[in-house]
Amino acid sequence: MDGLPANRWRSNLASAALGTAIRRHSIEASFASRNFLFASLVVVGFANGISDRVSLALAETDVAAALANTFGISVIVWSAWAISLVFLMRTPLQPISRLDGIVAAAALLAFLVPIAPLSWLAIAGLAIHILRTSPSASFLQRGAWILLALTVPMLWSRLLFVMLSEAILQADATLVGWIVGTPRLGNAIQFADGSGYLWIAPGCSSLANISLAFLCWATIAKVLNRPSSPSDIGWVVLACTAVAVVNVTRISLMGLYRNHFDLLHGPVGATVASWLTLGVTVTICLLGTRRDLPVPPYTGPAVTFPPALSGAIGLVLAVTLSLKLPGLMLLTSPMAPAPGFSGEAARLLEQHGLEVDQVSPGENLAGISGATGACRVRINDVMPQGWQQSLVAGIAGDHHLVYLFNGRNYSEQPLLRTRADYYWSRLNRYLGRNVPTRPVIVVIFTPACNGLPLRELTELSGR
């Protein structure tokens, strides 16, 4: 009997040691599992990928407003990312292969580069690797499909817009012009009251919402683990069409009711359209999967990061985001043209006897105007991507039109040159180098302006 307490003490000590060993093994297994390796990379990659959008949202408004607007990133994107992360960690622990290590190292190197979009390219590559090396219909593979779909609105649709921006914007403008019933000039539509033109900007394009509809469908389909079928195409097309209708309707209302333009175009209109788009998208995607059985409840272990792994992720996040900070500060500052052009141009016009005034930015074109007798001249800064060419042509009408860029003049905007200069400047800003964008200037003048200092203005644009 005297030895019983000692035996119990030994038993308790052995149980404690066994528990410690199990916890240590669990932590070591987590660090050595491909599940947690991929999940950690997804956390780091997502944070780096959205860093430019978050910085821009914080620069444009206060923290509370940015949070309320989810930093300008759709709730669908946030939800898809969270679900993909959970799915990656739900799979039973698997050892890290040599190829996993190579892919992870390549992704980490991409995250270290201070160019935020490169993180999405790395995430896409990581998702493709997981798809190729994971069992079919496993949590790991389903999470990878969602992850790959996540890169569509965050990377691929943006690249597609850069390449086909003119056709995409004109498609939106065609639909809006048909509803409003007014003439269209490229991506510019005349207001119903004839008071000016409504210019469809890149941020108003339906493409972004269409890519979100695709992501929503992919996420819900993988959550339900439903196999693909030909009917999926019809449901995806229906969801994309619905979100395009919401967007086109909002723009059309702006064209029909110019007195309410600020309300429809401002935060109120944007918020209503955003939530309406979300509701329509989710509803159609759920209807498209309504014949599937309910998802069985998950009975596996908790899907949380071990504290030590969380600390490692936090350290990597701090390093990668700090490398992007100088570039993000430059990207959120105004990309103004070379200083002094407007002032110098105004002085040139005054020296030639023109009365100079500021142009009202009613058509989203800031600049100056000059007049003397029958001579009328207007000088405006335009976007280097060429998105305002149709608007400029509408304003010019039958007047003369000249573009000025880098010390040369052109009858049409030299898109290859101006776009290359813009994206080169933006790339340098990502890298922390403040390379200014050269101004793209348009000069509109009447035939009566015989003494217009066009040569001097051209030289001024190259300074």
Look at residues 274, 300, 331 and tell me which one is the last residue of a structural domain: 331
For residue 219 the two structure tokens come to 């996420």
pLDDT tens, residue by residue, 418-463: 999 999 999 998 988 888 888 899 999 998 888 788 888 888 888 7
Give domain status of residue 10, yes or no. no
Judgement on whether residues 251 and 193 belong to the same structural domain of the protein = yes
- The C-alpha atoms of residue 168 and residue 12 are separated, in whole angstroms, by 71
Domain that holds residue 298: 24-331
Judgement on whether residues 346 and 453 belong to the same structural domain of the protein = yes
Give domain status of residue 3, yes or no. no
For residue 200 the two structure tokens come to 């469809």
- The C-alpha atoms of residue 113 and residue 456 are separated, in whole angstroms, by 42
pLDDT number for residue 108:
94
In three-state form (DSSP H/G/I as H, E/B as E, the rest C), the secondary structure along 421-446 is HHHHHHHHHHCCCCCCCCCEEEEEEC
The three-point CA angle 115-118-124 to 5° equals 160
Judgement on whether residues 346 and 321 belong to the same structural domain of the protein = no
Nearest to 38, CA basis, from 90, 78, 80: 90
Residue pair 359/443 in contact by the 8 Å Cβ criterion: no
192 Cα distance to chain centroid: 31
Give domain status of residue 336, yes or no. no
Residue pair 215/75 in contact by the 8 Å Cβ criterion: no
pLDDT number for residue 23:
42
Look at residues 331, 362, 391 and tell me which one is the last residue of a structural domain: 331
Residue pair 161/154 in contact by the 8 Å Cβ criterion: no
Give domain status of residue 426, yes or no. yes
Cβ burial of 340 (10 Å; 0-12, 13-18, 19+) is exposed
How many domains does the structure of the chain reveal?
A: 2
Give domain status of residue 1, yes or no. no
Judgement on whether residues 294 and 373 belong to the same structural domain of the protein = no
Judgement on whether residues 326 and 425 belong to the same structural domain of the protein = no
Give domain status of residue 438, yes or no. yes
pLDDT number for residue 327:
86
Partners of 408 in the β-ladder: 405
Look at residues 305, 331, 357 and tell me which one is the last residue of a structural domain: 331
CA 378, 414, 174, 261 torsion-angle sign = negative
Judgement on whether residues 310 and 361 belong to the same structural domain of the protein = no
pLDDT number for residue 4:
46
CB atoms within 10 A of CB 384: 25
pLDDT number for residue 349:
85
Judgement on whether residues 321 and 346 belong to the same structural domain of the protein = no
pLDDT number for residue 190:
85
Judgement on whether residues 115 and 193 belong to the same structural domain of the protein = yes
Give domain status of residue 84, yes or no. yes
CB atoms within 10 A of CB 137: 11
pLDDT tens, residue by residue, 245-279: 999 999 999 999 888 888 888 778 888 888 899 89
Judgement on whether residues 156 and 69 belong to the same structural domain of the protein = yes
Which residues does the chain have with pLDDT short of 70?
A: 1-32, 291-305, 334-340, 360-364
Distances in Å between the alpha carbon of 355 and those of 91, 208, 348, 352, 449? 73, 44, 11, 9, 13
Judgement on whether residues 346 and 314 belong to the same structural domain of the protein = no
Judgement on whether residues 346 and 295 belong to the same structural domain of the protein = no
- The C-alpha atoms of residue 89 and residue 83 are separated, in whole angstroms, by 10
Judgement on whether residues 210 and 118 belong to the same structural domain of the protein = yes
Question: 372 Cβ partners below 8 Å, 6+ apart?
Answer: 353, 354, 355
Query: Which ranges constitute the DSSP H helices of 181-331?
Result: 207-224, 231-256, 261-265, 267-288, 307-331
Residue pair 354/375 in contact by the 8 Å Cβ criterion: yes
Give domain status of residue 57, yes or no. yes
